[in-house]
A = this chain, B = another copy of it.
């Protein structure tokens, strides 16, 4: 990477919301009406940066004439509160504005530590919730920028990095009792063995996915049947159904799904935190006859000991969680307590790539497979890079590892995921696949984007017509 005097010149934020609740896409027992949204951040850089400048024009949004490459990142939310998330990203601006792009990209971990360590902002977490997700968005934007400048997809940038440098990117605070820097170094050195061959296999045939598209609670049995059949035809070997609202419904839907896909396809079920510990055990046992592969989010993501109790009782059904696990410290305990069979990282919940490196290392230390949460908006685009790095240069295997796939909203990204025969194809463009199309940003920025402005206008007109009718009657 060539040396440069480039600086971060702007930290621009966008409140982007898609009206997904109108179609019941994404409905589950806890989240019946999500409007998939992104609290989106763009790090702009000064134009005296030469590294990666030739690719920047093509794959960044709003890149003005004189600017260098941009870093894009976001927090995924499901609608209301996306503005709060944007405010949290903006609170981080002073830490980033004016920083040297070279220094940031050479050591994103240093920024990550500065952000989580802000002596006043950490009171709002620490390392959890809105403030921590904001940190994740900014840190991920730096990784996007670093990968663009290195002209590599992020998974490859990580896989090509030395074990020593990767270890320097991990914050071992609060996990060193279980994972030391020496442990991490050993795991990463082991992971390097055969990595070139695995990178070749990955480029050729991708990484296995599974699909949640058939299984939303709001769908009819007919739609479930059609989409489950389609999933198998599309090459997926695992599907997922949402459960937890009504046991009789769940039994019926599991029966329908099992009949459609046959015994050879894995069916995971997902309760989205709906249950207490006892309910989780009873309900999962009631669904056991349909051979569920895992029960996901059976209870609160905070309840380490609860998950351990559930796992003990529902085996051989596996226990999976992670999309709402707030940080590496909870993941550490889930592993220590033997509470999970499957660890589900999320690219935009924790403090960015750096914290996810820590979590992948913890999983590797315990030999627990990582099957990322995805879907929403842009989560598939991001998280595929982390699983691919894990395969190429850490765990070294795809066995029992699948990345969630949902066929929503990919068109809004410049480098959308590519699924072939139920597998995620390796991204080849530089960056973290996080860059949204400028026209999508313009259309779905809330409340002033063209879609929402027209929507508001429509609603106001309907309201007026209704009032006029009422007056006339």
Chain A contact residues, CB within 8 Å of chain B: 30-35, 77-81, 83-85, 87-88, 91, 118-133, 172-174, 176-177, 273, 276-278, 299-306, 309, 324, 326-327, 329-330, 332-333, 336-337
Q: How many copies does the complex hold?
A: 2
Known: A119-B31, A324-B126. A303 touches B131 (CB 8 A): no
Minimum Cβ distance to chain B for residue A360 (Å): 19
User: Could you say which residues of chain B place their CB within 8 Å of the CB of A80?
Assistant: 91, 118, 120-121
Q: List 26 A-B contacts (CB under 8 A).
A: A31-B119, A31-B120, A32-B119, A78-B120, A80-B91, A80-B118, A80-B121, A81-B123, A81-B124, A84-B131, A126-B324, A127-B300, A127-B302, A128-B128, A128-B302, A128-B326, A174-B276, A174-B299, A174-B300, A174-B302, A176-B276, A176-B278, A300-B329, A302-B327, A302-B333, A304-B304
B77, A84: Cβ atoms closer than 8 Å: no
Question: Which of B119, B130, B278 lies in contact with A124, CB distance below 8 A?
Answer: B130
Question: Which of B35, B81, B87, B129 lies in contact with A83, CB distance below 8 A?
Answer: B87
B78, A123: Cβ atoms closer than 8 Å: yes
A35, B120: Cβ atoms closer than 8 Å: yes
User: Could you say which residues of chain B place their CB within 8 Å of the CB of A277?
Assistant: 176-177
B81, A177: Cβ atoms closer than 8 Å: no
A130, B333: Cβ atoms closer than 8 Å: no
Minimum Cβ distance to chain B for residue A314 (Å): 14
Minimum Cβ distance to chain B for residue A374 (Å): 15
Docked complex Cα distance between A296 and B314 (Å): 37
B278, A131: Cβ atoms closer than 8 Å: no
Minimum Cβ distance to chain B for residue A128 (Å): 5
Q: Taking CB as reference atom, which chain B residue is nearest A323?
A: B123
Minimum Cβ distance to chain B for residue A302 (Å): 4
A120, B77: Cβ atoms closer than 8 Å: yes
Docked complex Cα distance between A326 and B304 (Å): 14
Q: Taking CB as reference atom, which chain B residue is nearest A126?
A: B324
